[in-house]
Amino acid sequence: MSQLENAGVTPDELFHWDPSTYLILDVRERVDFEKDSIPGSLHYDLDAILSGSAALPKNAGNYRLVLVCRYGRLSENAAEALRARGLNAYNLEGGYGRYVYESAMRAEADEERRKEIEKSIRGKFKKDLYGKFCHAIVEYELVKPGDKIAVCISGGKDSMCMAKLFQEVKRHNKFPFELVFLVMDPGYNEMNRNVIETNARLLGIPITIFETTIFDSVYHVTESPCYLCARMRRGYLYKKAKELGCNKIALGHHYDDVIETILMGQMFSGQFQAMMPKLRSTNYEGMELIRPMYCIREADIKHWRDYNGLHFIQCACKFTDTCTTCRANGDTASKRLYTKNLIAELKRTNPYIEANLFKSMENVPLSKILGWKDQNGKHSFLEVYDEENGPVIEGESDHPDHEPKRMF
């Protein structure tokens, strides 16, 4: 095939190519690439490819090079740039989003495959997924007899994995509780909606879908649209869950989300604040939010996904539909991505950094803080400094004849 015979390739065509004849170059943001990618693909900086400075494999000329971005728009320019250098480059039409869709459509929702996926939770991933899931439920008292829990599914790997883990807990049925697998469609395009529904059938998750217009509502918001979107989504989930008779909603935040949130609060908001394993709703009486994935590492969720050959949607809002936010120049990089990268950098010199960040949430000496907030407002350590049980004097707790005093 000549290098100019076809400038694009569809995912369906790619499935029929001999894998030994092509290389896949993914030019999405690294954080998106690391969340999920086409098996065997390589990550490259988009601007480096466009400028000709990318260090491609030495034998790149022996392969068909398939360029991938989120929805196949920016990668088209990258493929054109490589063709200008005499390389046999193709744009993956529809991008990674189309690839996930086609993969989901090709997956047969048969009982045997579903059983194998469930078997992996009971076997290979019992310790890292199911064990830690149960640990969080017990440690933080997340599920109690008589609960009716809305398991909120966005369509991503975390919430889909959470749904399967809840099903496994329910299978043992040590005490009575009910589950509703709730999917809110905030305005997904048809392709992403189909991926969610197809994956749910494949995994044997009986989803209940309801629709909102959140994406349309926040599309023209210029200041913190992601924050507003998240707040609105949670409100709609609370409301629908309560209508269905639920007393709790379950979200798929995991261990990595927790430790990143701690650092983000300190660096960007000047506060020490944990992402709690459970919260009472202030707007919906009797409702609680729980996070049963609290102790599970994101890498283990990815391992489960990849081991079972699953593909899930990532962020599917209208901002990313345009493919303009997958630029690699860092202009749209989120604070969470920055924090994630910072933790990874710190881990090179301190392998315990993640565990220590997590432990810091439960090892806060109240006698060693300048101030705190409660329902009555902000307080200073000076308010209790002269009281009988005020702050401990430095070193007093080490004296054998003194009992350490507490701030509260």
Q: Per the domain annotation, does 334 fall within a domain?
A: yes
For the chain, counts of helices (H) and of strands (E): 17, 13
Q: What one-letter code names the amino acid at 310?
A: L
d(CA 76, CA 216): 27
Question: Which CATH number fits the domain that encloses residue 94?
Answer: 3.40.250.10
Q: Per the domain annotation, does 360 fall within a domain?
A: no
Please check whether residues 25 and 148 belong to one and the same domain: no
Please check whether residues 129 and 235 belong to one and the same domain: yes
Please check whether residues 195 and 214 belong to one and the same domain: yes
DSSP characters over 158-219: HHHHHHHHHHHHHHH-SS--EEEEEEEESS--HHHHHHHHHHHHHHT--EEEEE--HHHHHT
**Beta bridge mates, 380:** 371
Please check whether residues 167 and 59 belong to one and the same domain: no
**The pLDDT value given to residue 145:** 96
Name the one residue in this structure whose structure tokens are 């409660």.
374
Domains identified in the chain, total number: 3
Range of the domain at 128: 108-340
Q: Per the domain annotation, does 169 fall within a domain?
A: yes
Mean pLDDT of 329-347: 76
**The pLDDT value given to residue 276:** 96
Q: Where residue 407 falls among pLDDT bands split at 50, 70, 90? A: very low
Question: Which CATH number fits the domain that encloses residue 210?
Answer: 3.40.50.620
**The pLDDT value given to residue 406:** 43
**The pLDDT value given to residue 390:** 59
Please check whether residues 266 and 315 belong to one and the same domain: yes
**% of the chain exceeding 70 in pLDDT:** 87
Please check whether residues 118 and 195 belong to one and the same domain: yes
Q: Per the domain annotation, does 386 fall within a domain?
A: yes
Q: What is the pLDDT of residues 256-301, one digit of tens each?
A: 999 999 999 999 989 998 999 999 999 999 999 999 999 999 999 9
Mean pLDDT of 378-396: 72
Q: H-helix or E-strand containing 279?
A: strand 278-280
**% of the chain exceeding 90 in pLDDT:** 65
Please check whether residues 148 and 35 belong to one and the same domain: no
Which residue, of 291, 323, 340, is where some domain finishes?
340
Lowest pLDDT segment from 65-69, 351-355, 397-401: 397-401
**The pLDDT value given to residue 109:** 66
Please check whether residues 220 and 280 belong to one and the same domain: yes
Please check whether residues 228 and 83 belong to one and the same domain: no
**The pLDDT value given to residue 243:** 96
Please check whether residues 48 and 166 belong to one and the same domain: no
Q: Per the domain annotation, does 359 fall within a domain?
A: no
Which residue, of 52, 71, 104, is where some domain finishes?
104
Q: Per the domain annotation, does 347 fall within a domain?
A: no
Q: Where residue 231 falls among pLDDT bands split at 50, 70, 90? A: confident
Q: Per the domain annotation, does 1 fall within a domain?
A: no
Mean pLDDT of 2-29: 86
Q: Per the domain annotation, does 94 fall within a domain?
A: yes
User: Is the confidence at residue 200, as pLDDT, over 90?
Assistant: yes
Query: Between 64 and 111, where is the model more confident?
Result: 64
Lowest pLDDT segment from 94-108, 118-132, 327-341: 327-341
Please check whether residues 186 and 201 belong to one and the same domain: yes
Please check whether residues 152 and 94 belong to one and the same domain: no
Which residue, of 340, 373, 388, is where some domain finishes?
340
Query: Between 266 and 105, where is the model more confident?
Result: 266
